[in-house]
């Protein structure tokens, strides 16, 4: 593994460029000379947030339908029900809430664009460690087209 000035599970940054990582091994690199634009702003924390949101809403709908069916059985139905079936509708509800919260979570992201590709990586871990101002200063010294959103820029200037 190379020595990076900044790194998370998703990316590593050194003097040559920004490297996307998977299992601590680089699978894609953006050299500073190839990067056309870098933008730091707020965005979704995960890549496919719309898919996760749709999945979460579907799980919530299934859980609510199960709760309604259970309520209907207890108020209208006759017969017996296994006690384990009472707990079953709550699993999709909990998973649905977790998926919706995960999909709607917004954090600071770095968008990188070169001539052929555009990628977005989350800076949540860097921000949590308190190293976001150092990262922004490092990137600003390495590349002239760093664009920082106003909300993130205030955080950068305060540090």
Q: What percent of the chain has pLDDT over 90?
A: 23
Contact 89, 113 (CB under 8 A): no
Tokens at 148, concatenated: 């920082």
- Sheet of 106-113, strands arranged across: 118-122, 106-113, 37-44, 146-148
User: What is residue 58's predicted lDDT score, i.e. its pLDDT?
Assistant: 98
State pLDDT tens for residues 15-47: 888 888 888 888 888 888 888 888 888 989 888
State pLDDT tens for residues 93-145: 999 999 999 999 999 998 988 888 888 988 899 888 888 888 888 888 888 87
Task: Give the residues across from 109 on adjacent strands.
Answer: 41, 122
């Amino acid at each position: 593994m190379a020595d990076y000035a900044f790194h998370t599970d998703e990316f590593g940054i050194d003097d040559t460029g920004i490297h996307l990582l998977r299992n601590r091994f680089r699978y894609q690199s953006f050299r500073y000379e190839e990067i056309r634009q870098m933008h730091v702003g707020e965005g979704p924390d995960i890549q496919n947030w719309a898919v996760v949101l749709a999945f979460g809403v579907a799980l919530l709908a299934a859980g609510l339908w199960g709760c309604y069916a259970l309520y209907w059985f207890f108020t209208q139905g006759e017969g017996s029900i296994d006690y384990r079936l009472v707990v079953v509708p709550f699993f999709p509800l909990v998973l649905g809430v977790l998926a919706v919260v995960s999909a709607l979570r917004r954090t600071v992201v770095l968008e990188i664009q070169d001539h052929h590709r555009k990628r977005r990586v989350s800076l949540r871990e860097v921000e949590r460690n308190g190293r976001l101002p150092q990262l922004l200063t490092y990137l600003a010294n390495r590349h002239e087209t760093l664009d920082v959103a106003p909300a993130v820029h205030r955080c950068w200037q305060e540090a």
